[in-house]
Copies of this chain bind each other. A is one copy, B any other.
């Protein structure tokens, strides 16, 4: 069986032979592996991804490579990230059913996961660039973030279970280290792997001189590295979301770690805001305003549903050691104000994490297609500048934008501003 072999990267030509005898795979693809159709569809960042189809159906086979694929063997990256991705997928299935792809098979030594093939879903980022709408997008992501935040914390889990999980995930050092540097630190100085649109330089230079901003970002990094409130997805950008017109799924939790409740929510909203600011390069005037307005509605729905779902779970599933009923309901004291105060803290930190994600996607190594595909670099820089300045405002003064109307107003104001 495959898992008795030493690690070996799969290839299109060897996959059927290697996985054909695995019952969990064969039962879903078809009993004749020699007839399987196999395509490698990895986007080139980190992993091998195959779509394997046969008479019975299709599955996705994802295998980690021992290095960063987009950089090469000069940047080694441990295979164990596939283990944490598997642990995360299992926990997501428990805590927020129906959102992550179902796992059919896991081979630990091969760093290999066989999972549900999502079809006809496509990557949300492509849809946002193409101007497609997805029903319930904000609601689904907000609900997913709330369920994962609440059910992965000691508001819900028993302390022994939660502490054992923190211990398990503390074994993942290399992956969080990528986020720690690429997201929180590199954007704010001339780090070696950085790049940005040349015309954006005046904005970048000024941002990097803002010592108060850098201090606030580093304080948020300190929370990210130390504050094990809940299990995060860890990389919830619009390339980690797949959707149809009416179904939303979340994939690729290999950056999962225990961290602050606000992080995933903030990163998701940042990617909606970057889609928003990039729209003038992707839409004709006759559909631009309506589509941008829809994106702002998605953001509002995301925050609103997060709060509503978190409050619902607070009322119905508060079984952990934190804010126990013995202190509140059992004494005739409502715990609603305590929930609201916690949600307020989460909102503010989410806005600040949002600002950081908006920065790193135009200043650090990993850019996103929303801006990158704008070939006119002067236009790209102009739109990126709006994005960078709004990110700065969110980090510097999140309390000014805690109301969702103020947040939308801020986005609309920067969307009109001629920065460059």
Contacts and interface: CB of A to CB of B under 8 A. Distances in A.
Given A167-B167, A228-B226, A333 B209 contact: yes
Contacts of A342: 219
Chain A interface helix/strand/loop/mixed? helix
Contacts of A218: 322-324, 327, 338
A227 B225 contact: no
**Which among A153, A191, A225 has the highest number of chain B CB atoms within 10 Å?**
A225
A185 interface: yes
Contacts of A211: 328, 331, 333-335, 337-338
A43 to B, nearest CB: 27
Contacts of A159: 173, 176-177, 180, 225
Interface string A150-172: 00011000011001101100110
- Interface footprint category on A: 35 or more
A172 B144 CA distance: 31
Given A323-B218, A342-B219, A173 B177 contact: no
Contacts of A177: 159
A215 B326 CA distance: 12
A322 B341 CA distance: 27
A307 interface: no
Contacts of A335: 211, 215
A327 B185 contact: yes
A170 B164 contact: yes
A154 B223 CA distance: 11
A167 B208 CA distance: 35
Given A166-B167, A218-B327, A228-B228, 19 more contacts: A159-B176, A159-B225, A163-B170, A163-B173, A163-B176, A164-B173, A167-B167, A167-B170, A180-B321, A211-B333, A212-B337, A214-B338, A215-B323, A215-B335, A218-B322, A218-B324, A222-B229, A222-B322, A226-B229
